[in-house]
Amino acid sequence: MSRRFVLALIVVALLDTNLPAQSPAPASAPPSASKSPAQATSSPSAAPTLQDLVNSLGPADLQAFTTLLKANFTDQNAITDTELNRATVQGLLMRLPRGITLLASKENVPASAPSAFYSEVINGRTGYVRLGTLNNANLQSLDKALTGFATKKVNDLIVDLRATGATSDFPLAAEFAKRFSPKSKPIFTVRKPVGRQDRVFSSDRDPSFHGLVMVLADSDTSGVAEAIAAALRFYNKALIIGQPTAGRAAEYSDLPLPNGKGLRLAVAEMVSPDGRSLFPEGVKPDLPVEMSLAEKRQIFQSSSEKGMEPFIYESGRPHMSEAALLAGTNPELEAVEAAQQRRGRAPEKPPPHDPVLQRALDVVTSLEVYQRH
């Protein structure tokens, strides 16, 4: 029985037993994670939405719409060529939010502060690395951490990409993926429109880690980080746990407009090793787990002092163990129900904890139990 098939069985079991214990979904998704209107779908039984109606118009309908509007609309100042062009730009910005951005200035938007690399060994046996920003300093930290894991004979690794945003340095980003990808194999391809040459980034070295790999991702996982997640899934049979990625796996160019503003445009898409385009759909998780982005960022900020272990399991509550997995029980859910019965009221808001990382550790524990039995 293959490892991938075993992992699939474990995922089904964890979805069945653990979903009630997940944190509530965030109240709203960030702009990078939202679907474009063109991707939105309505219920088959619901009345067609405005987007449904617009999408149903063919070329002849669109031409007739504009002709009838110009000939009959009462306010001719509202349908000048300039206004129609503005409406076109506004509509494209709404329909292609991951591919087009209108900048207030032609100058590049200042880069956000770099996110630091972080690593630790959890429960004395599972390596955890949060890659952070894909830069040279963090690459050196990754190499040091992987060397330390080898010394400690760590066989399971969780790669956290939830603090890894986009970068324009594709070769450097590929260096991170090489630590986990087989030699001489493509990691990702940057594909431009028809007629332009693709750029293929492949591994020229042996991987630094050979054990079980889990990948954590969410809507903060953007650009090349999405391609890294897809490569680890393809080559390492890694499960991706968390939420869909940003859907911004593309190369962007900033182009000046005559009035000083700028147009940020996706000029090439990133393609995974199996030939699938990652733009604009991104990477969907194998094991979906909801978590507030604000709570995650708070935990990441605190982890430099406290480590990640205090945030994995909720304080004062039993967590998933080998015995529970074998018995088919969920001690987390049972503890919540017992507390509610004792107090006769809803439980107080628990301290911050990371259900995404917790689910990854549950999978690792489940696989270890399977291999021993």
Omega of the bond prior to 280 within 30 degrees of 0, cis? yes
Q: What is the pLDDT of residues 283-317, one digit of tens each?
A: 999 999 999 999 999 999 999 899 999 999 755 45
CA distance 136 to 194: 33
Q: Does 199 have pLDDT greater than 90? A: yes
364 or 3: which leads in pLDDT:
364
Specify the domain boundaries for CATH 3.90.226.10 within the chain. 111-288
Mean pLDDT calculated for residue range 124-129: 95
Q: Does 248 have pLDDT greater than 70? A: yes
Give how far Cα 148 sits from Cα of 145, 152, 318, 352, Å.
5, 6, 30, 29
Mean pLDDT calculated for residue range 86-91: 94
Q: Are the CB atoms for 248 and 32 separated by under 8 Å? A: yes
With 0.95 as the threshold, say if the pTM is over it. no
Q: Which residues contact 214 (CB under 8 A, 6 or more apart)?
A: 156, 157, 158, 159, 238, 239, 241, 360, 363, 364
Domain 111-288 has CATH 3.90.226.10: yes
Return the minimum-mean-pLDDT range out of 22-26, 59-63, 148-152, 332-336. 22-26
Q: Does 72 have pLDDT greater than 80? A: yes
Q: What is the structure's pLDDT at 332?
A: 63
